[in-house]
Structure 1
Amino acid sequence: MAVYMIIIAGVDLYYRGVYATFAEVWKTSFLCSFAGSIATLSSECSVFILMLMSVDRAIMIVYPYSSIRLNRKNCIKIVGIAWAVVIFISFLPMFNHISFINIPYFGGNYYGRQSVCLALPLTRDRLPGWEYAISIFIAFNLFGFVVIAVSYISIYICVKRKASRVKRSRRRAREIKMATKMAMIVLTDFCCWFPIILMGIGSEVGAWKLPADIYAWSATFILPINSSLNPYLYTIAYKCDNKKKSPTQVAIEMRSVRSRPLPP
């Protein structure tokens, strides 16, 4: 996503003041299609991996003795397959820029319909490949958000039930801390995907006609939200919490994990 933003910002600076003259040159260029491909790759691969992480966490907490586990080997396989599939899906429309490959379904300019090189289905125009865009940006993203939300709601309900054995003050503190973290995760996903999903559905059913500059807002503000905040929410915050724990606390937690009975 950072590479995509750099490309769009660089082109904006390069064509500033003369863009109207070179608009078609830019939108039909290989660089525009490449930028759209990596933006799609970034957003959709992020959706899949966050969905996988959420389901895995939910299974581990809600069903602690389940035999369904993602070990390192299986996780590498699943993530590798996900990257391969999403790379293929993202770069497939760009093949029309290669001389010996032609896919009529996507037309000659799938990603270059707008100046920011995104194929977001935010209009009722039935341009080549519109079903493809709807299935990726609306259907799959909506499914991913629902899965993530349900997973974290299940985790919170489970933890709240099990916390009844703990002292009330500690229980309340844990509940508030976990609720805050999960609210941040679900909220950032919601802020990124739901506006695009809502605009896409509204455009498809004819509820409203969106202005042309909505693509620029989506590219520069809405889509990068997850790319900017998820590294903190999933990595930095986790490491900071671990650093706050003393070696004795870590040892006790490790001992309690090792002493858990094996599933039947």
Structure 2
Amino acid sequence: MDFMEVQCSPEPDAFNPCEDLMGNWGLRIPVWIIAHSAVIGNLFVLIVIGTSHFRLTVSKFLMCNLAVADLCIGVHLLLLAGIDAHSIGAYFNSAIDWQEGYGCNVAGFLTTFGNVLSVYTLAVITLERWCTITWAAHLNKRLKLRTTVKIMLGGWFSALFMAFLPLRGISSYSRTSICLPLEFKNNFDAIYLSTLLTINCSAFTVICVCYGSMYKTIRSGAKAGIANSVRNDQTVAKKMALLVFTDFACLSPIAFFGITALLGYPLITVTQTKILLVFIYPLNSCANPCLYAILTQQYRKDFFILMGRMGMCKEHAYSSRGAIRGKPLPYTAQFKRPHGVVRSISKSSNTRNSLITNVSNVNVEIPMTNSGRGHDETSTSDNPGIFRGLINFTAELDKTLAEHLRDSTVFKGISKEIQNDILDCMLEVCHETILEEIRKTSYNISIIADETTDVSAKSQMVVIFRYIQNGDPVERLWTYLEPSNLTAESLTADILSVLDPIFENSKEKLIAQSYDGAAVMSGRNTGVQAQVKEKYNFAHFVHCYAHQLNLIMSKAASESPQVRLFFWKSSRITFIF
């Protein structure tokens, strides 16, 4: 029998060994699991944040960018897994079509773009957190959304540029079956690969330095007696260590083997590179959705609200909706809206259910700008106010509640006294929650106070606490007062009546006080800030322009169309006379 010698081309080499795309089943099965984890996790982040009814913040914007980058890496792995499954045992028949065609170029473009954008975004996220913690008392030094968008546009341009170069002959995606830009033929290729490694190493350096600085800031606060306990420092250290370790585990092996290859001493083959591709390279893409989004409190709130829209997890959704600007109202953890009144033939049960419904309705009423109490709250009134309107609407949906409201002669729970009692109870729960947050925070506290006069010439002063909670600055409205007069002594006494019960035994925690520029408030010698500082030595004065809630009362009133119209009409009455 005669045999014909067949010359195969291209011949196997270091970049294209004679094997399937994934090489063996030890990589073939894990690549599907890891690819799906990266794609599903990052899609969840994009869907939940994209459908959130809360305003877009800097952190959410950065999370979306990180999810897009990591999603691209996951799609790259899915493409490789799909081609491998399609060509098991016969990859040689598909090698040229895959590597020289559009598929490999698309996969390589996605993974390079995703890698550069991912490490860039991680560095920006770390810098944003560093600014927040280092300059917690200076809002003007924090990253704004507009500035962040400009920074990320630079990251997108850089990632697109680096991903586009191999398509124009600088390195190549087609050199290997896994579509990574590993070709190293000339100086341009060397510069390109060196730039990729420099980007990764620089990002990791920024992450390490910033987290080290943040931890040092927290530790210095603890040594000064500001932190509540060493346990808080240990918790923060563990979280930071987890973030740094994940980045180190992902970036360091790639950087090490990449540098040795550039120096002319490659330590691993393409076959061994596939192990890095499957188990090390996508580590951040799988972990980032959990570390930076899914495990955070705000993401869980957005997730439950989305589930509530789909008819699931309604209890959690109701609780999560009780928030302003992404920050939970303290009382929502205690007062939860039920699906409906539980039916019971017991009168005491009916009374309790009626009260639960009334509490829930007050909870709904609070964020609204219209009046909670109407001019006429009788059962036949056309203007009952929000509270009675919600009660009537709820009664239409629940016959047991309707019967209780109609037949009860002892307790209906709808009088104005009951409404006030419910609000007082909510205020007490709110105060207890704020005090608990103040006790637990490892950072300093600042107070913001501002006085304004309404149309009836009645003075009202609001008092707000500002502090760090879970790494984010929060501002809690504590109360509003009616000063007896507007002298510095009187206003100081009112403010100290709020501060003393809270900070009498921990005066060092109050490090800032913020008022407007009026002499009675900001006077250096006899103003409120000077008198408060006599008792609280660390409470330095900061002008109110540095804070967002210094005019909360007037701002809240101006948001109501009815209030604006009322004051406009009132001002026009004077023209008649």
Q: TM-score range by the shorter chain?
A: 0.7 to 0.9
Residue 466 of structure 2 corresponds to 256
2:248 maps to 1:190:
yes
Which of 205, 220, 231 matches 2:278? 220
2:157 maps to 1:84:
yes
- Asked if the contact 2:246–2:283 (Cα under 8 Å) also holds between the matched residues in 1, the reply is yes
Residue 21 of structure 1 corresponds to 93
> Deviation digits for residues 77-101 of structure 1, max 9, x if unmatched?
222332233123213322xxxxxxx
Which of 190, 215, 219 matches 1:130? 190
> Deviation digits for residues 157-194 of structure 1, max 9, x if unmatched?
110110235587x4211111111111111111111111
Structure with greater helix percent: 1
Q: CA deviation at 1:237?
A: 2.3
2:294 maps to 1:236:
yes
- Asked if the contact 1:106–1:129 (Cα under 8 Å) also holds between the matched residues in 2, the reply is yes
Which of 206, 215, 221 matches 1:162? 221
- Asked if the contact 2:257–2:267 (Cα under 8 Å) also holds between the matched residues in 1, the reply is no
What one-letter code is carried by the residue in structure 2 that aligns with 1:116? I
- Asked if the contact 1:116–1:215 (Cα under 8 Å) also holds between the matched residues in 2, the reply is no
Q: CA deviation at 1:214?
A: 2.6
Larger Rg: 2
Q: CA deviation at 1:127?
A: 8.4
Question: Quick one: distance in 2 between partners of 1:246 and 1:60?
Answer: 22
What one-letter code is carried by the residue in structure 2 that aligns with 1:63? W
With 111-120 and 84-93 compared, the bigger mean Cα shift is at: 84-93
> Deviation digits for residues 46-66 of structure 1, max 9, x if unmatched?
111110111121122223355
Return closer, same or farther for 1:221/1:126 CA change in 2, 3 Å cut-off.
Answer: farther
What one-letter code is carried by the residue in structure 2 that aligns with 1:218? L
Which of 265, 269, 276 matches 1:211? 269
Q: CA deviation at 1:120?
A: 4.2
- Asked if the contact 2:130–2:210 (Cα under 8 Å) also holds between the matched residues in 1, the reply is yes
Question: Quick one: distance in 1 between partners of 2:133 and 2:219?
Answer: 12
Q: CA deviation at 1:205?
A: 2.5
Q: CA deviation at 1:41?
A: 1.2
TM-score of the aligned structures, taking structure 1 as reference length: 0.82
Q: CA deviation at 1:246?
A: 8.2
What are the within-5 Å matches in structure 2 for residues 171-190 of structure 1?
Answer: 171-190=229-248
What one-letter code is carried by the residue in structure 2 that aligns with 1:71? K
TM-score of the aligned structures, taking structure 2 as reference length: 0.40
- Asked if the contact 1:164–1:171 (Cα under 8 Å) also holds between the matched residues in 2, the reply is no
> Deviation digits for residues 92-138 of structure 1, max 9, x if unmatched?
322xxxxxxxx4x426xx112111101147xx7658623212211x1
Q: Secondary structure at the match of 2:247?
A: helix
- Asked if the contact 2:175–2:182 (Cα under 8 Å) also holds between the matched residues in 1, the reply is no
- Asked if the contact 1:27–1:117 (Cα under 8 Å) also holds between the matched residues in 2, the reply is yes
Unaligned ranges ≥5, structure 2? 1-72, 302-327, 331-429, 439-463, 468-474, 476-512, 515-541, 547-577
What one-letter code is carried by the residue in structure 2 that aligns with 1:143? S
Residue 98 of structure 1 corresponds to none
Which of 146, 170, 177 matches 1:115? 177
Structure with greater strand percent: 2
Q: Secondary structure at the match of 2:94?
A: helix
Residue 124 of structure 2 corresponds to 52
Question: Quick one: distance in 1 between partners of 2:434 and 2:118?
Answer: 30
Question: Quick one: distance in 2 between partners of 1:120 and 1:238?
Answer: 37
Question: Quick one: distance in 1 between partners of 2:266 and 2:161?
Answer: 33
Q: CA deviation at 1:143?
A: 0.6
Question: Quick one: distance in 1 between partners of 2:265 and 2:229?
Answer: 46
Question: Quick one: distance in 2 between partners of 1:250 and 1:81?
Answer: 40
Return closer, same or farther for 1:241/1:77 CA change in 2, 3 Å cut-off.
Answer: closer
Question: Quick one: distance in 2 between partners of 1:127 and 1:214?
Answer: 25
What is the total number of aligned residue pairs between the two structures? 249
Q: CA RMSD in A?
A: 3.0
Q: CA deviation at 1:39?
A: 0.6
What one-letter code is carried by the residue in structure 1 that aligns with 2:190? W
Question: Quick one: distance in 1 between partners of 2:144 and 2:264?
Answer: 46
With 14-23 and 204-213 compared, the bigger mean Cα shift is at: 204-213
What one-letter code is carried by the residue in structure 1 that aligns with 2:141? I
Q: Secondary structure at the match of 1:213?
A: helix
Which of 27, 31, 36 matches 2:103? 31
Question: Quick one: distance in 2 between partners of 1:230 and 1:120?
Answer: 26
Question: Quick one: distance in 1 between partners of 2:97 and 2:283?
Answer: 29
What one-letter code is carried by the residue in structure 2 that aligns with 1:225? L
Q: CA deviation at 1:25?
A: 2.3
Q: CA deviation at 1:152?
A: 0.2
With 184-193 and 216-225 compared, the bigger mean Cα shift is at: 216-225
Question: Quick one: distance in 1 between partners of 2:130 and 2:180?
Answer: 33
What one-letter code is carried by the residue in structure 2 that aligns with 1:204? L
Which of 92, 95, 112 matches 1:40? 112
Return closer, same or farther for 1:21/1:127 CA change in 2, 3 Å cut-off.
Answer: farther
What one-letter code is carried by the residue in structure 1 that aligns with 2:77? M
Q: Which one has more relative contact order, counting CA pairs under 8 Å at least 6 apart?
A: 1
Return closer, same or farther for 1:128/1:113 CA change in 2, 3 Å cut-off.
Answer: farther
